[in-house]
Amino acid sequence: MTPEQIREILLDEWEPIDIRDQKAARDEYDTYARRLHGYQPNNGQ
């Protein structure tokens, strides 16, 4: 899964600050998406 796909999930499903329809704010969750993308449960095993 790419960071962009994760961002879309965050925007579509999680979205606690209601920015889904604000194009200027669509990058609000990019930091979360990159961190989740790098997260490997169980040390990647």
What type of residue sits at position 29?
A: Y
pTM above 0.85, yes or no: no
The predicted pLDDT at position 5 comes to: 92
Q: How confident is the prediction along the chain (45 residues), in pLDDT tens digits per residue?
A: 899 999 889 888 888 888 888 888 878 888 889 999 988 677 555
Q: How far is CA 27 from the centre of its chain?
A: 9
| In the chain, where the domains are located | 3-40
Query: Which region holds residue 5: left if phi is over 0, alpha if psi is between -120 and 50, else beta?
Result: alpha
pLDDT at 17: 83
Q: What secondary structure does DSSP assign to 6-40, as a single string?
A: HHHHIIIII-TT--TT-GGGGGGGHHHHHHHHH--
